[in-house]
């Protein structure tokens, strides 16, 4: 069984993705509310609730095969203030890395280190923040590569994220885990642009990770919708009409097309501020009926909460997305215990890592890498 550390653990979605073949030996998050949910689902034995800046290597037991860190995205997000790795939130990457350096100096280096964050990491400060991350891996003795994976490959949820994976330089690298050139599936243009900006040293240390193309997704957004949710109520007619009036002509046309579809249609809605034809900023309700939910975001304000619109012929209903639906969009099963408070549950899921993506990486990169290295040591 492989051991792992889970930093910025939130509700333990990485733990859910790695599954029973992996053993968590240490988890950390600074948020007391998230920690309560973590404990309800996974127990308290491995979890230490504390600011990562206060942690020292003595707090971290043993040695891990994998260290995972989904450090905060606010300063790297395209919607953020642009502080990048110098920001108060995303800058917590540095104390995490100091812990990794301490483990390395104590001969307890994790065999694999994984970082997960928004794709804005690639463009933050003109690519300099991404280059800094690449440099930290190289200087610490890790070969490094990145992939962009959209949750929509596995779930009806549009959520592209960047997965940065480093492995120890002296480890055996199985040939089938890498390729000699980038893959359009996993290395899109913005990643290639960030790569081209790297120094010669970082490029020489780079790994083009290889993943098989997953089977075609069959799950639809409509499949995860609850008819009688417990965490939210359906809007009354006036509330639904108000939402429809907030739509542009293009979006109202989408609703009319859904009414004529001769089947139940479920749309995802976000409220966004747009400039109207007179140059004034107005709040618009924008709907999509492509069987995929918009990317979950933490509910910092009313516009950040996703709504659903259910159209069945002339019948139109609307409401906020339920907390269980947000959990399903992240790949959590219905046995996962969510906070009772709506905003806490939405924040927990919107801040998390998509479970099937973790599963896929574990199956096709982490597991094979560790198995091949164990076989190599046994043969030696």
**Would you call 184 exposed, middle or buried from its count of C-beta atoms within 10 A (0-12, 13-18, 19+)?**
exposed
pLDDT for 90 = 65
- Please give the DSSP secondary-structure letter assigned to residue 365: I
Q: What residue ranges in the chain does DSSP mark as E strands?
A: 2-7, 22-29, 47-49, 66-69, 112-117, 142-150, 160-168, 265-275, 281-288, 307-312, 315-320
DSSP per position, 141-155: TEEEEEEEEEGGGTS
Q: Rounded CA gap, 210 and 178, in Å?
A: 5
Mean pLDDT in consecutive groups of 10 residues from the start of the chain, 380 residues: 96 97 97 97 97 95 96 64 62 91 97 95 91 96 98 97 97 93 97 97 97 95 95 97 96 96 94 84 93 84 77 96 98 98 94 97 97 70
Any idea what DSSP says for residue 98? H
Give the span between the Cα atoms of 40 and 12, in whole angstroms.
Answer: 10
- Contact between residue 15 and residue 42 where contact means Cβ atoms under 8 Å apart: yes
- Which tokens belong to 330? 């992240």
DSSP state of 172: -
Q: Kindly provide the b/e burial profile for residues 7-30, where b requires at least 16 CB atoms within 10 angstroms of the residue's own CB.
A: bbbbbbbbbbbbeeebebbbbbbb
**Cα 129 from Cα 75, distance rounded (Å):** 11
pLDDT in the model for residue 125: 86
State the burial class of residue 81 (Cβ atoms within 10 Å of its Cβ: 0-12, 13-18, 19+).
Answer: exposed
Residue 302: predicted pLDDT: 46
Q: Are 352 and 10 contacting, i.e. CB atoms less than 8 angstroms apart?
A: yes
Instruction: Tell me the whole-structure pTM to 2 decimals.
Output: 0.94
Assigned CATH topology for domain 2-214+355-379: Rossmann fold (3.40.50)
Torsion of CA 291, 293, 295, 296, to 10 degrees: -160
380 by Cβ neighbours in 10 Å (0-12 / 13-18 / 19+) ranks as exposed
CA distances from 351 to 28, 72, 337 (A): 15, 8, 16
Q: How far apart are CA 325 and CA 228, in angstroms?
A: 11
**Residue range(s) of every CATH 3.40.50.150 domain in the chain:** 2-214+355-379
pLDDT of residue 279: 82
Give the pLDDT score at 189. 97
The phi, psi pair for 354, rounded to 5°, reads -70, 120
């Amino acid at each position: 069984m492989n051991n792992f550390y889970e930093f910025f653990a939130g509700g333990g979605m990485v733990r859910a993705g790695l599954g029973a073949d992996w053993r968590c030996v240490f988890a950390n998050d600074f948020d007391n509310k998230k920690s309560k949910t973590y404990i309800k689902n996974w127990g308290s034995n491995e979890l230490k609730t504390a600011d990562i800046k206060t942690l020292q290597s003595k707090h971290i037991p043993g040695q891990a095969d994998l260290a995972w860190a989904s450090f905060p995205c606010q300063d790297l997000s395209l919607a953020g203030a642009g502080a990048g790795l110098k920001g108060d939130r995303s800058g917590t990457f540095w104390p995490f890395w100091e812990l990794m350096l301490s483990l390395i100096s104590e001969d307890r280096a994790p065999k694999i280190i994984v970082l997960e964050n928004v794709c804005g990491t690639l463009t933050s400060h003109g690519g300099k923040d991404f280059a800094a991350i690449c440099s930290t891996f190289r200087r610490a003795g890790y070969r490094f590569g990145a992939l962009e994976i959209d949750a929509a490959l596995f779930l009806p949820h549009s959520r592209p994220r960047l997965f940065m994976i480093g492995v120890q330089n002296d480890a055996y690298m199985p040939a089938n885990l890498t390729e000699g050139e980038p893959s359009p599936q996993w290395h899109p243009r913005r990643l290639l642009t960030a790569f081209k900006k790297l120094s010669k040293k970082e490029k020489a240390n780079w790994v083009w990770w290889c993943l098989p193309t997953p089977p075609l997704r069959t799950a639809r957004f409509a499949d995860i919708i609850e008819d009688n949710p417990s965490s939210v109520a359906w809007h009354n007619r006036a509330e639904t009409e108000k939402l429809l009036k907030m739509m542009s002509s293009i979006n109202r046309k989408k609703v009319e097309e859904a009414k004529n579809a001769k089947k139940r249609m479920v749309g995802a809605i976000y409220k966004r501020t747009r400039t109207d034809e007179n140059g004034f900023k107005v709040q618009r309700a924008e709907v999509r009926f492509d069987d995929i939910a918009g990317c979950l975001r933490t509910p910092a304000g009313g516009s950040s909460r996703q709504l659903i619109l259910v159209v069945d012929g002339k019948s139109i209903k609307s409401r906020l997305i339920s907390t269980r639906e947000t959990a399903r969009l992240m790949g959590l099963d219905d046995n996962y215990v969510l906070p009772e408070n709506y905003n806490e549950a939405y924040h927990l899921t919107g801040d998390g890592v998509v479970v099937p993506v973790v599963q896929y990486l574990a199956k096709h990169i982490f597991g094979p890498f560790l198995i091949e290295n164990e076989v190599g040591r046994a043969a030696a």
